[in-house]
Amino acid sequence: MDQFKYLGMILTEDNQITKEIEARIQAGNKYFFNLANLLGARSLSRELNKQLYTKLIRPIITCGAETWTIRKTNEKRLLVFERKILRRIFGPVKDSVTNDWRIRKNEELD
């Protein structure tokens, strides 16, 4: 047995956290798609949508994160997941130069 689940965390014999992070992102995606219509709704303010993300989805991803020894690749996976959700919340933006719709850049998501 090279891995097992204990107290909700996936523990591996080589003490890698990658599988745990993948499982957390998968759980966050599942919850995100359950709330996708709500998070993309224009009837709710962006600030309320952002609070829904920080109160409902982010804790699923970061539960137990205080004990993780994280590598750059795992950190990047977590940031990509967060940016995906924030882009969904904030939606596209109309470029003033080309007058076309485009996805927001990372700097525009805060």
pLDDT in tens, 6-19: 777 777 777 778 88
Please answer whether residues 8 and 64 qualify as being in contact, where contact means their C-beta atoms are separated by less than 8 angstroms.
Answer: yes
Rounded-to-integer distance, Cα 54 and Cα 11, Å: 26
Per the DSSP assignment, residues forming a β-bridge with 12 are 3
| Pairwise CA distance, residues 47 & 68, whole Å | 30
Domain that holds residue 54: 3-109
Running DSSP on this structure, what letter comes out for residue 43?
Answer: T
Instruction: Say what the pLDDT of residue 47 is.
Output: 86
For 57, residues 6+ apart whose C-beta sits below 8 A from its C-beta are 28, 31, 32, 35, 85
For residue 102, the Cα-to-chain-centroid distance in whole angstroms is 21
CB count, 10 Å around CB of 34?
12
- What pLDDT digit, counting tens, does each position of 19-77 carry? 888 989 999 999 998 988 887 777 888 888 888 889 999 999 988 888 888 889 999 99
